[in-house]
Every structure is written in structure tokens, then in C-alpha cells.
């Protein structure tokens, strides 16, 4: 982790690119922020996900194990396949899962299906050959390459460390804010829709049970974070779709 003064990022360094972090990282953020505030009273911590990178372990069906050095954008896309490793996901689904603007989403996907230094790629897609990111559209399908391997001295290798960061650069598009707002609005609607569907069936349920069923229902599209779930539950309460049980703030009832 790198903590730098705002001036160290240089021109354009503080431009905002939205990203829905994988839950494994999202749960870690509050811990870091709490620790930082204790160490530096009065300072504000801004997360620059578009300049961040990390290492994840990628396993294959044939026992391969690779350490992948990836950008946070690449990491978010790969984590979208975490519980759906045998499924194909469309570009539209990955947009909803990551909240990345199209420019960054398409560029990052291309880096995972056509990395120039490798004969075998981490992800595969159904776009025609030779692959061109301009051909990607909402229905383009992507999936994990379970036969991935490295070629070294003409022989396939099932172990290794791979740097996929390369020269990926950030490009802020003028319509990125509008794209993000549209994605957020769609996520909010999907959560509201799912909560109402669950409550119609259950009639009465606890917050813990509602969150569990909500995540299970929505995970083919995206994993809602706690803040999003809370905000949409509050919206549904304000608009008389559901209500809190008398005497128990963590139990909800469906209003028919």
C-alpha cells in the first residue's frame, strides 16, 4: 500500500474513476481508514483505485497456480468470476458488477484476453479473430481459461508469476460521470426489485436473512455492498413497500 501527498500524483492524478471493489477489498477499506485516522488526526484519505495494483493467486483445473500482478480494475473483473468460474459473463454483466465506465472496462478486458506477451490468455471471449476491442459490445461473452499455462523454453509451465499491468493507462472520458450514474441507478433498481420479491415471499424476515438472500439473488449480476442495501431498504420503508417490526429494528414486514 502506498500513501502519498496529493501533490505527488501529478496532473490528473486526482481525477475520479468509479469502481465497485470486490467484497474482499471493500471489507478491508474501513479498517485501513480507521487506522490512518488514528495515526494522522485531521487528514483525509482518498483512495486512488485507478492507480492501484496488487497480486492475486489464479488456479486452473489442471493444478496450475499463478501469481498475477494486476491493476485494481483487472482485479475487479477477475473477482466477478470468483463464484462463477465455469460461467460466461457478458460485457453488460461485467459493467454492472464493476461499475467501470466503458472506456476502462473494454480496455481492461482486452488486456486480459489479448495480452501481447502471452500465447495463453487468462480470459477468453467469443469475439471474432483477430481480437479488436472495438468489436466488443454488451452481448460479448467472456469466460475463464481453465487451461491457462505459461510457455517457457517451448514447454508449458503450471507455475509462475505474471505481470499483467503492462502499460495500461488511465483515460478519463467526458461522459464517464453520466455512465457511472446510469450504472448506479440500475443497481439501485435491481436491489429494490429483489428486496420486494423476497419480502413478498417471506412477509416477515430479519435483516441478516434478507441480506443473505439478496446477495444470493443478485450475485449473477453483481454483489451489493452493505451501504447500497441499507440505502435501498430505507428507500423502500420511506415509500411504504416494507416497514420495520415494532420493537425490533432489524426485522422487516412486507406491506401488501
Q: List, in order, residues 6 or more apart from 115 with CB less than 8 Å away.
A: 121, 122, 164, 166
For residue 172, is pLDDT > 50?
A: no
Percent of the chain with pLDDT over 90: 31
On average, the pLDDT of the chain sits at 83
Contact yes or no for 44/36 (Cβ under 8 A): no
For residue 57, is pLDDT > 90?
A: yes
Q: What is the mean pLDDT of residues 49-61?
A: 86
Domains and CATH numbers, the chain: 6-163 (3.30.230.130), 176-254 (1.10.10.10)
Spatial separation of the C-alpha atoms in residues 163 and 150, rounded to whole Å: 12
Q: What is the mean pLDDT of residues 227-253?
A: 89
Q: How confident is the model at residue 49 (pLDDT cuts 50, 70, 90)?
A: confident
Q: What is the mean pLDDT of residues 162-177?
A: 62
Q: 218 vs 49, which has greater pLDDT?
A: 218
Cross-strand bridge partners of residue 155: 152
Q: How confident is the model at residue 11 (pLDDT cuts 50, 70, 90)?
A: very low
* Structure-derived torsion over alpha carbons of residues 206, 24, 227, 224, reported in degrees to the nearest 10: -70
Amino acid at each position: 500500500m502506498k500513501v502519498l501527498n496529493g501533490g505527488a500524483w501529478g496532473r490528473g492524478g486526482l481525477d475520479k474513476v468509479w469502481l465497485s471493489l470486490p467484497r474482499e477489498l471493500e471489507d478491508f477499506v474501513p479498517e485501513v481508514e480507521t487506522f490512518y485516522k488514528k495515526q494522522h488526526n485531521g487528514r483525509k484519505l482518498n483512495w486512488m483505485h485507478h492507480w492501484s495494483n496488487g497480486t492475486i493467486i489464479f488456479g486452473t483445473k489442471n493444478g496450475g497456480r499463478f501469481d498475477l500482478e494486476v491493476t485494481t480494475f483487472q482485479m475487479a473483473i477477475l473477482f466477478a468470476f470468483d463464484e462463477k468460474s465455469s460461467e460466461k459473463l457478458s460485457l453488460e454483466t461485467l459493467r454492472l458488477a464493476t461499475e467501470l465506465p466503458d472506456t476502462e472496462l473494454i480496455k481492461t478486458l482486452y488486456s486480459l484476453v489479448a495480452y501481447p506477451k502471452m500465447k495463453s490468455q487468462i480470459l477468453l471471449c467469443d469475439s471474432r479473430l483477430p481480437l479488436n476491442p472495438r468489436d466488443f459490445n454488451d452481448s460479448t461473452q467472456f469466460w475463464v481459461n481453465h487451461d491457462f499455462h505459461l510457455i517457457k523454453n517451448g514447454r508449458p509451465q503450471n507455475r509462475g508469476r505474471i505481470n499483467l499491468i503492462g502499460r495500461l493507462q488511465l483515460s478519463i472520458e467526458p461522459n464517464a460521470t453520466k455512465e457511472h450514474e446510469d450504472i448506479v441507478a440500475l443497481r439501485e433498481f435491481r436491489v429494490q426489485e429483489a428486496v420486494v420479491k423476497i419480502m413478498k415471499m417471506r412477509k416477515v424476515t430479519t435483516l441478516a436473512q434478507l441480506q443473505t438472500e439478496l446477495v444470493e439473488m443478485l450475485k449473477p449480476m453483481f454483489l451489493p455492498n452493505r451501504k447500497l442495501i441499507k440505502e435501498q431498504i430505507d428507500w423502500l420503508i420511506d415509500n411504504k413497500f416494507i416497514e420495520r417490526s415494532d420493537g425490533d429494528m432489524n426485522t422487516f414486514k412486507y406491506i401488501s
